[in-house]
Amino acid sequence: MSQKRAPLVDPSKNLARFDGHVRIVGTGLLGASIGLALTGDGLDVALADASPSQLRLAVDYGAGRPAAETDDPDLIIVAVPPDVTADVIAAELERYPRAVVTDVASIKSEPFIELTRRGLDLTNYIGSHPMAGRERGGAISARADLFVGRPWVICRDESTPRQALALIEDLALDLGAVPIEMTPDEHDDAVGLISHVPQLVSSLLAARLVDAPDAALRLTGQGLRDTVRIASSQPELWVQILGANAAPVADVLTALRKDLDSVIDALEHPDARGSRRHLADAIAAGNIGVARLPGKHGQDQRFAQIVVMVDDRPGELGRLLTELGEINVNMEDLRLEHSPGTAVGLAEISVLPEVKQRTIEDLEARGWRIASV
């Protein structure tokens, strides 16, 4: 049965900056999500995909219409796997010389180098990369709000026309993203650190669970779940990504290996002079690093945490969220953890530090149990 997802924006009240015809090549998670958002803005979105079934699924979900031979797009968005990105960009530039072409691949240097090697006119090509995604891919996982509040890297060069750059910036802004300009090399170094290495670390740690005793797994808490959350990613896609960005990832892993060797040495000789200090310094360095991460909406804002015990009954979590609104508390973040073997969950809510004590008192007055402060 065809299932269309409701747009986030009423097309009759279109406030989009970009107002033209869009062609999206590739209807996986990113391509379909962009299509959902743009059709929600009332734009004409044509979809193309090498897989007919994937294309039909994206159309059924409301990401756009099938592309037609008579289409004359103003903007083309290439959202295909990294190993075919350069080929598809080249084909789109040749077929639609008037259109501005961008791609959303997670690697930016390799496609640009390959296209330059082929001697193509790249005046109308601008590489970009929305820093958004989900553990599961495909049009079935697409969301119109996937890019809201997320960085959208735009890689321009000296020959990029101002109007073409403005068009990609408008696209990012219309999707709720935050445009950021970087060179392809700067981008690849950055994502190697903040995206590609975390994927490997998560996967390697999760692999340690394969032969773990069931008794150990029953003790699993939120710390492990947080660390291995992204380990469910698609191996085929990540082989392409890591292969295309091998050098920056290897550089970070080499430095990480040196840190691990030092920690292992301290653990193997815990009574040696300086071993405990070395372990403490390693944890402290992590404190400093995580404190640099931007908070909500990219702000450098730290929040206080309150852990509330929530009975495992229908409607209890909804009641907690409703009552937070009633006491006029804005919840900045929410994490859920189920206590093994009990009918109780733990809801860790993040609030501004100045309202933490008042929130605790108001929740306790309404009968909620605070597990830890």
Residue type, 22: V
Instruction: List, in sequence order, every residue forming a beta bridge with 102; answer none if it has no partner.
Output: 77, 126
3-state secondary structure of 221: coil
Percentage of the chain modeled with pLDDT above 70: 92
pLDDT of 109: 93
Tell me what the pLDDT averaged over the chain comes to.
Answer: 89
Name 83's Cβ contacts closer than 8 Å, sequence gap at least 6.
240, 244
C-alpha to C-alpha distance for 221 and 217, rounded to whole angstroms:
9
Instruction: List, in sequence order, every residue forming a beta bridge with 47; answer none if it has no partner.
Output: 24, 66
Residue type, 50: A
* 232 against 13, higher pLDDT: 232
C-alpha to C-alpha distance for 283 and 268, rounded to whole angstroms:
17
pTM confidence score: 0.77
C-alpha to C-alpha distance for 227 and 305, rounded to whole angstroms:
19
- Residue 299, pLDDT > 60, answer no
Q: What are the counts of helices (DSSP H) followed by strands (DSSP E) for the chain?
A: 14, 12
C-alpha to C-alpha distance for 231 and 209, rounded to whole angstroms:
11
- Residue 217, pLDDT > 50, answer yes
Each residue's pLDDT tens digit, 333-355 = 888 876 556 677 888 888 888 88
Domains and CATH numbers, the chain: 18-183 (3.40.50.720), 190-291 (1.10.3660.10), 298-372 (3.30.70.260)
With CA atoms as reference, report the closest residue to 8 among 58, 42, 54.
42
Look up tokens 């995206």; give the residue: 195
For residue 193, what are its two tokens? 């650190």
Using 50, 70 and 90 to split pLDDT, how confident is the model at 13?
very low
Give the lowest-confidence range in 41-55, 243-257, 272-286, 301-315: 301-315
With CA atoms as reference, report the closest residue to 125 among 150, 151, 152, 91.
91
Each residue's pLDDT tens digit, 231-267 = 988 898 899 999 999 999 999 999 999 999 999 999 9
Give the lowest-confidence range in 77-86, 168-177, 287-296, 324-333: 287-296
Look up tokens 């180098």; give the residue: 113
pLDDT of 1: 39
